[in-house]
Structure 1
Amino acid sequence: MTNNFRSILFLLSTFIVTAISSANAQTINNSKFGKGLQFVAADSSFSLKFSTRFQVLYQGSENTVTNNWDDRFLIRRARLKFEGFAYSPKLEYKIELGLSNSDIGNDTPDQTNNADNIILDAVAKWEMLPGLSLYVGQTKLPGNRERVVSSQKMQFVDRSLLNSRFNIDRDAGLQLHHEHTVGNVVLREIGSVSMGEGRDITINNTGGYDYTGRFEILPFGTFAGDGDYVGSDLAREQTPKLALAATYDYNDDATRAQGQLGDFLSQQRDLRTVFVDAMFKYKGFSAMGEYANKKAPDGPVVLTDDTGDVEETFVTGEALNLQAGYLFPTNWEVAGRYTSYDPTKVTGLTPEKQYTLGINKFIVGHSLKVQGDVTLQKRDGRDDNYQFRLQMELAL
């Protein structure tokens, strides 16, 4: 554990103890399980909401080479989050820290690189005009819907293969969010300019910038509780709700294999990514679909060896993810997911299809739940493989 990491944990511990010990002298507003501790200054000059959560995961899969069952327990995610407003309710902020190895970016002890860090989000959001907000700092880019959905609010134990291969993740820069209505139809436009190399990079920009544009349309109006970015229909929408969206992302002279994620490569490429997605909910039934296509116009392969095998490549190709589920009145849910991943052939990466069946029990919404799923993995040139996962989420 580094000295910086110890210092951060000490400061966070001090803050938590101070906040709890002073609770009797403060007004705690709307604090209840799953909603964190909430404070508002006496002069209403700022507010603070502190929350924490973690996921405990068991994961097992058959090893098709040894015919053994490989498994492990791990802390998949452990988060601390601070949010509220500063000076004026029109200026909001959010800070989110990830403490587990998976959050930091590396699950192998004592192996780090200049992209590993604990800062997930550090962003200020200024409402310049009604429906128009400027984001400054580091947060999720307006990419595919599945990635923008919080990891606390997913329908399955984890996101799909489409997301792990092609999402554009978090980045530091500027975002402009606009929302307006035409009758009952809600329209949203989002644009961003960011570094293009992922979260909290400490080196100078070695390539160009990243440019992202997203357009959303909700033809039947807004979802209850921002449900268009929540897995499962916990609100049990009483009228059909639909969200449609498309994103275009251009990463100029990308230096990492997946743009904002992956290994740093020895050369650079322009990456162009298109996402199309949809979310539908009605009376406990939910369905989501996504398509992703990423290209490198100058070719994704950077380096091959003397035999022609690929040593360095950008991850390009296309993927499709379809999932749906039904939430019973008992708050048990059954869900299914199909994902296909087709990388560009020259990269030498392996195409794959996954079929997933999930069962969820929501005890206190997404704040306390148990999720399990089993996945059949079908990869070209390899034996079929089964993976089983069981996870508990606890959020305060």
Structure 2
Amino acid sequence: MHIESRLQFRYAYPQDQDPITFEDFTDTETHVFEVNRARLKVGGHGFKPWLKYYWEYDVVGGNLLDFRVMVEKWEFFKLKIGQWKTYFTRERVISSGKQQLVDRSIINRPFTVDRQQGMEFYGRLFPERLLDLSYNISVLTGTGRGQSTNDDEHLMYVGRLQWNVFGRELGFSGSDLSMTEAPEGLIAFAGVTNRSPYTRFSTSGGGQLVGFADGEEGQYRVNQLLLETAFKYRGFSWQHESHYKEIHDRILAQTTILKGSYFQAGYFLHQIWSDIPEPLEAAMRYAWYTPEVNVENNLHKELGLGVNWFFAGHRNKLTAEVTWLELQGPTFPVSDEVRVRVQWDISF
């Protein structure tokens, strides 16, 4: 058994949360000091090394986030049951304590599938060969964290197929802390289909995107597609996602289509200039999404620049970030904001 706690202290100005409406840009500017996350984690194995367990508790929110048991006796076929962050997007699956910038991009909110309860089959095929593949197939309740039943007889189905380009599996963490000597990369495709009262999910559970009313049972059929790439080599890291999301309102008989992408890169500058301290990493990210592709001049943008100082890898690091955020809508002028955030993340 391994017991761990993690604390995340954050300062932000003029606000911490990503603005999602025009009114969010006109809110009073404030200095934010907060314990953004406080987690208690317990994991290990019982009876046999391949029978593993893990649970995670959110001390700040008072929520049980993860509880799962994994049967991992064979590399090509594994089984997981319980509740966890669905293996759909790399950005969401990477722990908030192993992110490259202060937090996830603006596309996380509209496109994440987040935590669900259910079961998953996963594994790795043809390891260290040309066609080195990792796969995840999930059958879930589709109603969000803390929900053990779905609202009707239609479950959530998620599939992910990942090609490990160089015959080596790339782990779910940001930054190339190990200065990878042999390149590691992936190209992944994923899809999800679900029918529920919700158009989005988060740590809080099921909810609605802007413009959608609280749903009835089975009101929204949501279909999503994802293309993802990632790469690490000698201090350089890259990750990218492109999303397509279709929301069909079965009561109003109307369909909304969302699209979005993010591109992120980081580099330990000591690799090219020895006078720069080894623990310092520079990173940048560009992200965009449109909440309705059929509406012109309807776009959210993000451009972020940040630096990390690693005292002990991701277990003890300081991150500073400057982000430019812009919201363009069809019925109001372009609004933008420059945000500054500093964060200390430490695990014991």
Indicate the TM-score class for this superposition, using the shorter chain for normalisation.
0.7 to 0.9
Q: Alpha-carbon deviation of 1:201?
A: 1.8
Q: Secondary structure at the match of 1:146?
A: helix
Q: Are 2:49 and 1:96 aligned?
A: no
Q: How many residues align?
A: 318
* 2:215 alignment partner AA: S
Superposition pairs of residues 253-332 of structure 1, within 5 angstroms: 253-258=195-200, 261-263=206-208, 265-267=214-216, 268-296=219-247, 298-299=248-249, 316-329=257-270, 330-332=278-280
**Which deviates more from structure 2 when the two are superposed, residues 278-287 or residues 126-135?**
126-135
TM-score normalised by structure 1 residue count: 0.75
Deviations 1:66-108 (A, max 9, x none): 7x6322111111100111111111210001111113xx5xxxx
From 44, 57, 60, the equivalent of 1:84 is 44
Identity of aligned residues (%): 28
Q: Alpha-carbon deviation of 1:375?
A: 0.8
Can you give the 5+ residue segments of structure 2 that lack an aligned partner in the other structure? 16-23, 271-277
* Paired position in structure 2 for 1:228: 171
TM-score normalised by structure 2 residue count: 0.85
Q: Secondary structure at the match of 2:108?
A: helix
Q: Are 2:104 and 1:152 aligned?
A: no
Q: Distance in 2 between matches of 1:88 and 1:197?
A: 33
Q: Distance in 2 between matches of 1:219 and 1:257?
A: 33
* Paired position in structure 2 for 1:188: 134
Q: Alpha-carbon deviation of 1:302?
A: 5.7
* 1:51 alignment partner AA: E
Q: Distance in 1 between matches of 2:251 and 2:287?
A: 25
Q: Distance in 1 between matches of 2:295 and 2:138?
A: 29
From 287, 302, 312, the equivalent of 1:354 is 302
* Paired position in structure 1 for 2:290: 342
RMSD: 2.5
Q: Are 2:3 and 1:56 aligned?
A: no
Q: Distance in 2 between matches of 1:300 and 1:72?
A: 41
Is the CA contact 1:123–1:135 (under 8 Å) kept in the aligned structure 2? Answer: yes
* Paired position in structure 2 for 1:197: 143
From 312, 329, 334, the equivalent of 1:382 is 334
Is the CA contact 1:53–1:78 (under 8 Å) kept in the aligned structure 2? Answer: yes
* 2:177 alignment partner AA: L
Q: Alpha-carbon deviation of 1:345?
A: 5.3
* Paired position in structure 2 for 1:39: none
Superposition pairs of residues 13-24 of structure 1, within 5 angstroms: none
* 1:54 alignment partner AA: L
Q: Alpha-carbon deviation of 1:316?
A: 4.9
Using CA pairs under 8 Å that are at least 6 residues apart, name the structure with larger relative contact order, 1 or 2: 2
* Paired position in structure 1 for 2:186: 243
Superposition pairs of residues 21-32 of structure 1, within 5 angstroms: none
Residue 299 to residue 345, structure 1, CA distance change in 2 (3 Å):
farther
Q: Distance in 2 between matches of 1:316 and 1:75?
A: 36
Q: Secondary structure at the match of 2:206?
A: coil
Q: Alpha-carbon deviation of 1:371?
A: 0.4
Residue 176 to residue 316, structure 1, CA distance change in 2 (3 Å):
same
Deviations 1:257-309 (A, max 9, x none): 3156324823311100111111111110111110111102x348969xxxxxx
Superposition pairs of residues 206-225 of structure 1, within 5 angstroms: 206-207=151-152, 208-222=154-168
